[in-house]
Amino acid sequence: MKIFTRYVIRGYTKLLVSMFMALASIYTLILFFEVLDDALENKAPMSSVLSYLLYNQARVTKEMLPLAFFFATLAYVVISNKNFELVVLRALGIKSYRVLVPMACLGGIVGCAMVFWNMNVAPWGISKSTEIRKVEINKEKKALHLRYTNLWMKHGNTACFIHFFDEKKQVFKNVKCVWFQEGNIQSVALAPQARWEKNQWELVKPTLLTIVKGTIKEENPPLLPLSLDITPQTLLEQKKEPWEMTYRELKDYINVMEEEGYSVPHLKMELYQRVSMALAPLVLVLLVFPLAVRPPREGGWKAMLYSFGVLVGYWSFNSIFVLGGRSGWIPPLLASFIPPLSAGMAGVWLIRKKEV
């Protein structure tokens, strides 16, 4: 690695870490004061508050890291301009993109790591922090915090595997139940669905297999009562939100919903955005750098003005596509990736124009 590249990476990394720590601290402080009233009102222990803040660091990292790249890039270029470093490079015949390359590479590497982080770590942390706030801080009844696919439920001597809970029709789909007696299997039931009727679950058109003296007896009753102590309302209250689901959970949920004939553009947007958001560090570096490179006599105010204007514009542009994707007006895949790819290409065009 050349001396110049090491110099840029070292200075830029210091700024990046400082910016991220500052932004993360501010975000964490806001979360602390937000939860403090509930903690004092319910006399929750400080350990619960600290656990809530700790698990929320997954979300803090997801949301603040792209902004850290924005501020670090802007600060590095403004400081370099102030110290006439870029002027000296031009005088030596070295183009300014040589400064950009290490920054862009770092943004790309961090972006690749953020794909996994956004897909799995951030949803897990959000889910855990939500549960801690509800149960330990707000003193609500302990929730199951359920996903709606591949559910295991047990009550008394009954255990059931449920492929899918249809929240719109409020029925279980593809249900398999087992009844035990003294540790042994007494009977098994397979049903295409179970519905909530008269304050209890009922298997609809089940196939009931009962073990009687070593033989299996098959029956097909129209309805079969099911002793599960959970209501549709409880399931609705305790469901995992899409942003709390890991990649596999969300992907399975989308597949099952589509198999049932539902259109789920909002869920697909949630899934695709986890990847498109990982492009943000690289995109912001490419956008900010050419705008921040200004003649030293102009000072840093123009660089900051243009950079913040582009940040607001990019956020607005992305928000329009997010709304369009969630509503189904724009295909979710396009709605997720058009803004970052367009912004990235605009940044490359600005860089080429600056060098010319």
Q: Which residue numbers in the chain have pLDDT < 50?
A: 356
Write down the pLDDT at residue 121: 94
Q: Residue 228 is inside which H or E element, if any?
A: none
Give the number of other CB atoms < 10 A from CB of residue 349: 12
Q: Where are the domains of the chain?
A: 3-140+262-355, 149-231
Query: What span, in angstroms and rounded, lies between the C-alpha atoms of 78 and 303?
Result: 7
Q: Residue 241 is inside which H or E element, if any?
A: none
| 308, burial (CB in 10 Å: exposed 0-12, middle 13-18, buried 19+) | middle
Q: Which residue has the tokens 């956020």?
A: 315
pLDDT in tens, 179-198: 888 778 889 999 999 998 88
Query: What span, in angstroms and rounded, lies between the C-alpha atoms of 211 and 68?
Result: 64
Helix (H, G, I), strand (E, B) or coil at 182: coil
DSSP string, 272-284: HHHHHGGGHHHHH
Helix (H, G, I), strand (E, B) or coil at 43: coil
Query: What span, in angstroms and rounded, lies between the C-alpha atoms of 65 and 21?
Result: 9
Residue 115 near residue 282, CB atoms below 8 Å: no
Q: CA angle, 154 as apex, 150 and 156 as ends, to 5°? A: 165
Q: What is the pTM of this model?
A: 0.81
Write down the pLDDT at residue 261: 80
Average of per-residue pLDDT values in the chain: 86
SS3 of 333-344: the string is HHHHHHHHHHHH
